[in-house]
Amino acid sequence: IVLSSGEFGAELNTDAHLWQWFASRFPGLLGSETWAAIAEALSWLVRKAAHIAEYAVLGLVAAWSLRRWMVLGPGSRAEQRMTITVLLFGALVSLGDELNQSTIALRTGSLADALLDVLGLGLGLWCASCVARRMYKTWPGC
């Protein structure tokens, strides 16, 4: 998250990497209006998917770490508190990340991106819950 928050993760860099990849595979499209539309849509999709993926990993790791420290049964009150804690922690990280991006020349902070980050956290928490429920059925008390 920290690495992609700086100039490395800027739209210009994402576009450059996508351009190189796409140009090596579809050289006939370069310079066309079709290519410009595809490149813009693909760049947007990759950048937004990265927000969700990064924060899904954060949510999964945070939930799993807290689960290892606390004895949580699926659906327990402690699990609900852990979920709220991870969501609040992740939302603060996301807001801090977007605030940081607003201070970097090639970046802009976005509330929409912060909401995508929280969506990613929820996805990570859901994955952690699914794994925990499966493990709990297999090994009660884990």
Per domain, the residue ranges of the chain are: 2-138
Helix (H, G, I), strand (E, B) or coil at 106: coil
Q: What is the pLDDT of residues 33-81, one digit of tens each?
A: 777 787 788 888 988 998 899 999 999 999 888 876 666 666 677 778 8
- 103-97-51-23 Cα dihedral, nearest 10 degrees: 30
Are 85 and 66 in contact, with CB atoms under 8 Å apart? yes
Predicted confidence (pLDDT) per residue in 77-136, tens digit: 777 888 898 999 999 999 998 898 888 877 788 899 999 999 999 999 999 888 877 776
Answer yes or no: is pLDDT of 9 > 60: no
> How high is the pLDDT of residue 10?
53
Is the pTM higher than 0.85? The answer reads no
d(CA 4, CA 48): 12
CB within 8 A of 52, min separation 6: which ones? 116, 117, 119, 120, 123
